[in-house]
Amino acid sequence: MIIRLFSIACLLALGAIPALAAKEVVSFAYLQRVNDPAYERHRAYTGLVLRDRAPPLDGAKTALRESRVLGRSIGVKFELRETALGEADDAVAAIENLAAEGTRIFLLDLPLADVKRAAQSLAGRDLLLFNIRHGADELRGEACSPVLFHTIASDAMLMDGLAQFLFKKNWTDVLILEGEQEADLIASAAFQQSARKFGLNVVDVRPFVLSNDPRVRDETNIPLLTGDADYDVVFLADSLGEFGRYVPYQTYDPRPVVGSEGLVSSAWHWAWERHGAPQLNQRFDRIAKRPMKDTDYAAWAAVKSVVEAMVRTESRDIAVLRAYLTNDAFTLDTYKGAPGNFRSWDNQLRQAVLLHTHNAVIARAPLDGFLHQTNNLDTLGRDRPESACRFE
Amino acid sequence: MRVFHFIAGVALAAVIGHGEAAAKNTRLVFVSNEKNSTITVLNLDNEVVRTFETCARPRGMHFSEDRTEFYVGCADDSVIAIYDVATQELLRRIRQVEEPETFDLHPNGRHLYISNEEDATATVFDVETGEFVTEFETGEEPEGVQVTPDGRLVFVASEAANLVHVIDTEAQEVIKDILVDTRPRRFALTPDGTELWVSAELAGIVDIISVETLEIIDDIAFLPTGFRKEQVTPVDLLITKDGTRAYVALGRANHVAAVDVKSRRILDYILVGKRAWGLALTHDEKRLYVANGLSDDISIIDTESLKVLTSIPVGLVPYGILIDDH
């Protein structure tokens, strides 16, 4: 029913649907930078790695492998073109060059500044750019662009999911511990915004310092940092992880820790076992030889979304595909239950988020009882009326 | 005590019959429990007779042609275990079947068409010799398998590719990939063999395919009162022998839909347990058994009143149901 209705809409809009010729090649460009600081190994101490990130290329590879037979059925061969930019190379120029060779779809595994610039400079172009890495809310807000789609969950979505969980548990009084890193301040601000949205009470925000200096022990000693306050739960914003890993079990009062340690909010986790997730996890693991993470999931979702849109619209026209991705008829199997499609106001992929410990998914948000007038997934992240994004 | 007598009786019957085409109509119900790798055996008085351990992650089940044996597909062991219906004794195993999910038996009684979930293939094994016969490439996560009664065609649904593959058993090749709605799971054929119904889990609908033209000709959308589209995730479905009525398990909507096949109109929604997937009808079609994967029980529905009569706790994450009652 859905397919046929949309086909009719396309016919009306364009006059005709260009048929796909047999053995046509559709390429996805995967852009990264050599020596990207995000993927440097952050050693905490003597070889110990706390936050290890791998480029999500294998997520895209997994999706391409899944699309082979679907390609066979519509006479298209999907391929991945990996492009590594040198440290001095310009991302916009690289995209322009690839576009001149016929590539229209780009997975951007690039630093935030590159993504922002590309999205702004190429806003009017007939391209499809995917942000597969950054949760930054500004990319969905003031810095949004009609060419840029987000398959990675936004910071607001992740924090809204966590806030729903705390509210449902009646852990409404929250003590925030935040680090000095820019990422820590962003995470803390995102959580505070979600706390306001769902009626949580932030009892205090306390900065911590990674140090043994006895003169600043109020900011280094965890029992002192977590004493003299009445709270149900600690929210921790610590992107480095060295301080945060000692917070659970050291709080002055026996209270759970959420945020960077303890209960963490992510778009994907290897321990998720509902809605077909074990199959996706195993497919990824066979290719990558490591567990699937949220950026891998985002790269996978970008490829899957485009393939699904091409199959359903029977078109390769970027304008048609873009319109379809944000149409309610579009359905991406997110492996998290609720069907995914892109929000028309900011091009963000609607998806559930997973609240997990290191080895178990404790809850999936939106949690039962958090309702929305049109789609419960829109209880996560910026809804249309709150969005600062203007495509015009 | 009663249970003991019952088992003793069955065992005796098996001994006397010496295994060959022995006890039929054991009046037993078998439920595969995916998460704790057991089979629960019930009688038709809704009592649990016994529970036994089987291979790891048992899911799809099927009777042999003469109904003296049943097959259990175990994904985590890559095995199909073959049991005696009367004694539930393990007779033999078909090994090296990559993550079998569901399967259907060709009318020749020997070729089992199996979906291999992790391998993106459908394989064929000989149930007597246990030998591999052939395989076909499918999309990712193949699940439902349906052989036509004349044995000419086999349909395989690929969950992740949104395709129904059509295998011609004589030509031994995939002759068509039919694009259907999101996440196709299981099949039912109308008894006259003209319509193939396929559940599209994430779309919340059943697509109807003409077996003659291999095109989608219609669909049925499900929406029990108080639910939203995204909560309705149909999986298993059955059509009665006279072709008048269909039952569709609606997964996360915790309901089973009863459908008038001819008019394709929904007659009623019946509230069952959590995440209803597997379905089975008794031979007289007066009772419908429903496996509720997330409440670890089965619901038994009276098909005349369309009311649930009872629910019975079984193992962890019940998946498939077989009923031997004729």
Nearest to residue A187, comparing CAs of A196, A177, A197, A173? A177
Looking at the fold, whether A193 and A133 belong to one and the same domain comes out as: no
Query: Do A173 and A90 share a structural domain?
Result: no
Q: Tell me: pLDDT of B17 over 60.
A: no
Using DSSP bridges, classify how beta strands B163-168 and B153-158 pair: parallel, antiparallel or unpaired. Answer: antiparallel
- Asked whether residue A22 falls in the same domain as residue A47, the answer is yes
Give every residue of chain A whose pLDDT is below 50, as ranges. Answer: 1-21
pLDDT digits (tens, 9 = 90+) for B65-106: 999 999 999 999 999 999 999 999 999 999 999 889 999 999
Q: Are residues A215 and A306 in the same domain?
A: no
Write the CA distances from B115 to A210, B111, B142, B193, B250, integer angstroms: 54, 13, 5, 21, 22
Question: ipTM of this model?
Answer: 0.72
Instruction: Work out the widest C-alpha separation in chain B, in whole angstroms.
Output: 57
Q: Are residues A181 and A124 in the same domain?
A: no
Q: Where are the domains of chain B?
A: 27-324
Handedness of CA B91, B94, B96, B100 (dihedral sign): negative
SS3 A177: strand
Using an 8 Å CB-CB cutoff, list chain A residues near B118: 279, 282-283
Residue A391, domain member (yes or no): no
Answer yes or no: do A223 and A248 share one domain: yes
pLDDT for the residue numbered B22: 54
Contact B179 A3 (CB under 8 A): yes
Domain count across chain A: 2
Task: Tell me the β-bridge partners of B291.
Answer: B298
* Domain that includes residue A303, residue range: 2-153+275-351
Model confidence over B131-178: pLDDT tens digits?
A: 999 999 999 899 999 999 999 999 999 999 999 999 999 999 999 999
Q: Which pLDDT does position A216 carry in this prediction?
A: 86
Choosing from A212, A234, A266, the residue where a domain stops is A266
pLDDT band, residue B114 (cuts 50/70/90)? very high
Identify from B202, B215, B217, B275 which residue to disrupt to test chain A contact, counting A C-beta atoms within 10 A and taking the largest count. Answer: B202
pLDDT, tens digit, 9 for 90 and up, residues B39-54:
999 999 999 999 999 9
Asked if A208 and A299 sit in the same domain, the reply is: no
Place of tokens 């992510």: A266
A115 three-state secondary structure: helix
DSSP 8-state secondary structure symbol assigned to residue A80? E
Residue A288, classed as helix, strand or coil, is: helix
Residue from A280, A331, A335 to probe the interface with B (highest B Cβ count within 10 Å): A331
CATH number for domain B27-324, candidates 1.10.3720.10, 3.40.50.300, 2.130.10.10, 1.20.1740.10: 2.130.10.10
The pTM score is 0.83
Please report the number of interchain residue pairs, chain A to chain B, with beta-carbon separation below 8 angstroms: 68
pLDDT at A210: 86
Tell me what pLDDT residue A25 has.
93
Q: How far apart are CA A104 and CA A99, in angstroms?
A: 6
Residue A52: the pLDDT is 75
**Tens digit of pLDDT for each residue in B194-239?**
999 999 999 999 999 999 999 999 999 999 999 988 889 999 999 9
Q: ∠ at Cα B293 (B87, A355), nearest 5°?
A: 140
To test the contact with chain A by mutation, choose from B35, B140, B216, B233 the residue with the greatest count of A C-beta atoms within 10 A, namely: B140
- The per-residue pLDDT for A23 is 72
Strands B58-63 and B48-53: unpaired
Task: Indicate whether A195 and A332 sit together in one domain.
Answer: no
**d(C-alpha A115, C-alpha B162), whole Å:** 32
Q: Which residue has the tokens 């229209």?
A: A104
Is B36 exposed, middle or buried (CB count within 10 Å of its CB: 0-12, 13-18, 19+)?
middle
* In-domain check, residue A357: no
pLDDT at residue A45 in the model: 66
B230 closest CB neighbour out of A1, A308, A339: A339
Tokens (6 digits) for B321 = 């149901």
Q: Do B162 and A66 touch (CB under 8 A)?
A: no
- Provide the mean pLDDT of chain B: 92
Residue B293: per-residue pLDDT? 96
How far A282 CA lies from chain B's nearest CA (Å)?
A: 8
Q: Is residue A164 part of a domain?
A: yes
pLDDT at A214: 83
Within a domain: A283: yes
Contact check, Cβ <8 Å, A376/B228: yes
Q: Is the residue at A79 inside a domain? A: yes
Distance from C-alpha of A312 to C-alpha of B27, rounded to nearest angstrom: 47
Residues of B in contact with A69 (CB under 8 A): 120, 137-140, 158, 161, 163, 177
- Report how far residue B115's alpha carbon sits from residue A286's, in angstroms, rounded to the nearest whole number: 19
What pLDDT is attached to residue A338? 84
Q: What is the CATH number of the domain that holds A191?
A: 3.40.50.2300
Q: How far apart are CA B324 and CA B326, in angstroms?
A: 6
Task: Tell me, yes or no, whether A45 and A97 share the same domain.
Answer: yes
The pLDDT, as a whole number, for residue A174 is 98
> What are the φ and ψ backbone dihedral angles of A343, each rounded to 5 degrees?
-70, 130
